[in-house]
């Protein structure tokens, strides 16, 4: 049996990660970070800026992990697409609530990893303002990791990040007329 070594960095630093692009897997990648953080006993909070009107498997899946993870869905779905019935004003109000909640989580000192899911979309759709997002990034405590997901990450957000991954779509089942599948797409 191989002995497993737990490496520790010489200097701990909270990272800023951006997961963007038009391919499938940005939130899924962030959920993978939750799984990894869970293994290290980190306190995690994920705030979903756009999701909240349709069930997503991660809501119950996170509860099954038995880890210190808080998942908060503040959104009303994807603004302006797929027949979403909520007016822009409601989407913006919910996104503003999510920004306030993110500030609270940051200042609490109780979160090691904060994921702002779909905040890039919220910014692109003007549900949140660039200054608000930049202020969140600048207010990040030095040892807290911050992840910003969603399409169309703003160049200024990318510039401030330590790590940026772009998920590129090569092929998607939806484009072939296959409906979203539970456990894979939501």
The pLDDT assigned to 81 comes to 64
Residue 87 lies inside a defined structural domain of this protein? yes
The pLDDT assigned to 8 comes to 87
Mean pLDDT (the chain, rounded): 92
Residue 163 lies inside a defined structural domain of this protein? yes
Q: Which residues in the chain come in under a pLDDT of 50?
A: none
Residue 55 lies inside a defined structural domain of this protein? yes
Residue 179 lies inside a defined structural domain of this protein? no
The pLDDT assigned to 78 comes to 73
The pLDDT assigned to 83 comes to 66
Residue 4 lies inside a defined structural domain of this protein? no
Q: What CATH number is attached to the domain comprising 136?
A: 3.40.50.300
Residue 54 lies inside a defined structural domain of this protein? yes
Q: Tell me which residue range forms the domain holding 75.
A: 16-167
Our count of domains for the chain comes to 1
Residue 103 lies inside a defined structural domain of this protein? yes
CB neighbour list of residue 103: distance below 8 Å, 6 or more residues apart: 136, 139
Predicted model pTM: 0.92
Nearest to 136 by CA among 159, 150, 119, 153: 119
User: Would you call 147 helix, strand, or coil by DSSP?
Assistant: strand
């Amino acid at each position: 049996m191989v002995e497993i070594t737990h490496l520790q960095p010489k200097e701990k630093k909270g990272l800023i990660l951006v997961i963007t692009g038009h391919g499938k897997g940005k939130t899924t990648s962030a959920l993978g970070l939750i799984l990894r953080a869970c293994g290290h006993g980190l306190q995690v909070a994920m705030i979903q800026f756009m999701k909240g009107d349709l069930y997503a498997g991660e809501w119950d899946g996170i509860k099954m992990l038995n880890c210190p993870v808080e998942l908060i869905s503040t959104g009303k779905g994807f603004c302006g697409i797929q027949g979403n019935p909520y007016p822009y004003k409601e989407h913006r109000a919910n996104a503003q609530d999510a920004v306030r909640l993110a500030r609270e989580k940051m200042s609490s000192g109780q979160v090691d990893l904060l994921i702002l899911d779909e905040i890039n979309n919220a910014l692109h759709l003007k549900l949140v303002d660039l200054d608000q997002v930049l202020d969140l990034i600048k207010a990040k405590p030095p040892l807290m990791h911050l992840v910003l997901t969603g399409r169309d990450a703003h160049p200024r957000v990318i510039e401030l990040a330590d790590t940026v991954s772009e998920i590129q779509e090569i092929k998607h089942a939806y484009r072939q007329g296959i409906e979203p599948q539970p456990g894979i797409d939501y």
